[in-house]
Amino acid sequence: MNMSRKLLLVLFFWCGVLHSLIAQKNKIVVTYAADQIKITFFQPDFNHLIADYKFSIAAEKGMPVTDPYHFAGGCRSMQLDSSATNLFFCLYDGNDLKKDTTTPPWTAFYQYSLTAKKYTRLFSTPAESYMVWTFMESRKSLVYYCHKAGALLETSLLTMQTDTLIKLSLSNYNCQLNAYQNKLTFEYSEHDTVKKTEYFFDTKKSITNSFWGFSFFSSYRNGNLLVYDESRTLIHLVTPGKRMTKSITAGQNRFFWKDDTHFYIIEKRSINIYNTEMEMELSYYMEQPQIMEQLSDGLLVKFGKRQFAFVPLQLNTLPDELMNVHDNFIYLISETYGNP
Q: What DSSP line would sit under 212-223, residue for residue?
A: ET-S---EEETT
For the chain, what is the mean pLDDT? 88
Say if CB 107 and CB 42 are below 8 A apart.
no
Distance of CA 214 to the CA centre of its chain: 23
Domains (range + CATH), the chain: 26-336 (2.130.10)
79-100 confidence digits (pLDDT tens): 999 999 999 999 998 766 667 6
pLDDT higher than threshold 50 for residue 172: yes
d(CA 5, CA 315): 38
| pTM attached to this predicted model | 0.89
State which amino acid sits at residue 279: E
Q: Where are the alpha helices (DSSP H) in the chain?
A: 3-23
CB 199 within 8 A of CB 165: yes
Say whether pLDDT at 9 is over 70: no
Q: What pLDDT, on the 0 to 100 scale, is given for residue 96?
A: 65
pLDDT score, position 4: 52
SS3 55: strand
CA-to-CA distance for 28 and 83, rounded, in angstroms?
12
Q: How confident is the model at residue 12 (pLDDT cuts 50, 70, 90)?
A: very low
- How far is Cα 333 from Cα 295, in angstroms, rounded to an integer? 9
Selection from 67, 200, 206, 79 nearest residue 137 by Cα: 79
Residue 283 has pLDDT above 70, yes or no: yes
Residues listed for the chain:
340
Question: Span 300-329, mean pLDDT?
Answer: 91
Report d(CA 247, CA 77) in Å as an integer: 33
Nearest alpha carbon to residue 225 among 267, 264, 196:
196
Alpha carbons 334 and 295: distance in angstroms, whole number: 7
pLDDT of 284 reads 95
